[in-house]
Chains A and B, each alone.
Chain A
């Protein structure tokens, strides 16, 4: 069974924001809401690193744990989605998420906070696949169209990888082996069983 995951390769990300643009265009995300954004560490300093961040579709999602109305659910592919008809816009998920993924449109009267919006892994939501209602609430359902998330498929340097976790891990592992460095990163031994890496 596929387990959908994102990984951003900090060695490749050039902070072009192509992923952000692709996401906003694909889903017609309203002004002020960014389902994905690029974060740069040591900006302007030689050796700066950038990564593209959105909902990571956690296996043990804290947003899902704290939601008082239980509007979240997880698909069989491991994609964390939510029902906007159940969401009350309380913002608990925003505080719980370590990635800042939940977004809230604030274009209503008196700046009222609307229903939560976040990355769907281009998997839509609890409406009929490919329907207009699904698109208006959650954006396009590319997974049901047989495609991968637009952000990753549009990434010019292929820094952002998306898809089945096994495939993504295989791609990233090959890159690290080819580079001859990167195996020292935290978690490598846990993921691949060897502190030195290698295929």
Chain B
């Protein structure tokens, strides 16, 4: 396999942008109409993901240490979409046809052989990882909604009971799909440490125009069925650290941090922990009652609500970054930040400018923007 030639041929194709995955999926569905049902109605986001994945594979084709874990993750993750080993040849054929089409006259037997070899390896790594995962985990976890509490106009708390035990580390999240929005998966963090009864809480914030969040917060009722993907995410409590803990939560970014607090409570010697819970108005402090109860029960925990858009609020006003800078001693601390992209970036920057080393800052970006 000539890796340079492979990269060059991909660069030629990638120049056509969205037309490439568009052609690929149409080609795939024409040959295998039965696969169409595995995808959502709108394919726009799907096409972006395919092009990104192909770009990454092509860029890392010589860097096996980076490529193999990426492909293994991709293989495991595709199980929740219902992908089976027998789907891979069809995908490979359409991929080759697409690459040939966009390469035009530059396509020849050598390039075709490069890509055939590359795809064979890709498919092999992905199916192997999926096969290993199959021995331990279901493709997805079916779950039933057993509680739904509308806390504010925009935030609901769902409690779900998975059919099979779902083990995870506090701070992680899972992709969630509901029947009202088939084939659309969105990530939500578990908002509690694993419980004996296996139930899980999700904090769902309605995003304007968001198809899944609005369905989860408004139309999914008790008894509704959900599908949960495998737990992912790197935000987790550093157990080896002896430092104190600062938790910075923006809105429902609170969820994974609350799970971490519950986890700390189970430790013999919980770290001194200070949670700053940032919202726009006091009405958005959707989980303050529970947090204050925790702070009253556990001496090592301090909870400070921060309200940014309501000057007359009687507590701390300003952004999470403002309030941390004002109220929280930062020497010898680890910080865990979760919220909107803007909030995470602003808070991390503030902490760094206040002298906290980068290596003490752990972040989880929820990907949504403040509106």
Do A and B actually bind? no
Residues on B facing A (Cβ under 8 Å): none
